[in-house]
Amino acid sequence: MKEIKVFIRPELLEDVLEPLYAHPEFPGVTISDVRGFGHKVGRRNRGELGEVRMIKLETIVPDALLEDVLGVIQEQAHTGRNGDGKIAVYDVLEVRRISSGDRIIE
């Protein structure tokens, strides 16, 4: 299984969520409103601190679903401008359902 963390422009949230929601095997997503700065976007000059608003999406998907989900996110969140965001993918060692304690196996 893989964990995916994505930072996207707020105005593209619905464009990204709609095709993910429509995918019959997509397990779900956590959405957070975050602030920060990147290498180029969000920094200010003369020592002033700057920040931009972004949306963070987090999900855990089976390995077989990874490329589909990454493709949707890349296609829907891409504008070609600085500040489009980032996608990070991590290996997940184990997932357990809190309600039952059952291990979720892909």
List phi, psi (to 5°) of 74. Answer: -60, -45
Model confidence, pTM = 0.87
Whether 35 maps to a domain, the answer reads yes
- Whole-number Å distance between alpha carbons of 36 and 95: 29
Whether 59 maps to a domain, the answer reads yes
Structural domains of the chain, count: 1
Instruction: Give the tens place of pLDDT for each residue, 37-93.
Output: 777 666 666 556 678 899 999 999 999 999 999 999 999 999 999 889 999 999 999
List phi, psi (to 5°) of 29. Answer: -150, 150
Instruction: Give the tens place of pLDDT for each residue, 10-34.
Output: 999 999 999 999 999 999 999 999 9
CATH number for the domain harbouring residue 33: 3.30.70.120
Whether 103 maps to a domain, the answer reads no
> What is the radius of gyration, based on Cα positions, of the chain?
16
The residue type found at 81 is R
pLDDT at 42: 64
- Whole-number Å distance between alpha carbons of 25 and 9: 25
Whether 104 maps to a domain, the answer reads no
Range(s) of the domain holding residue 73: 2-91
**26 is written with which tokens?**
């997509």
Whether 28 maps to a domain, the answer reads yes
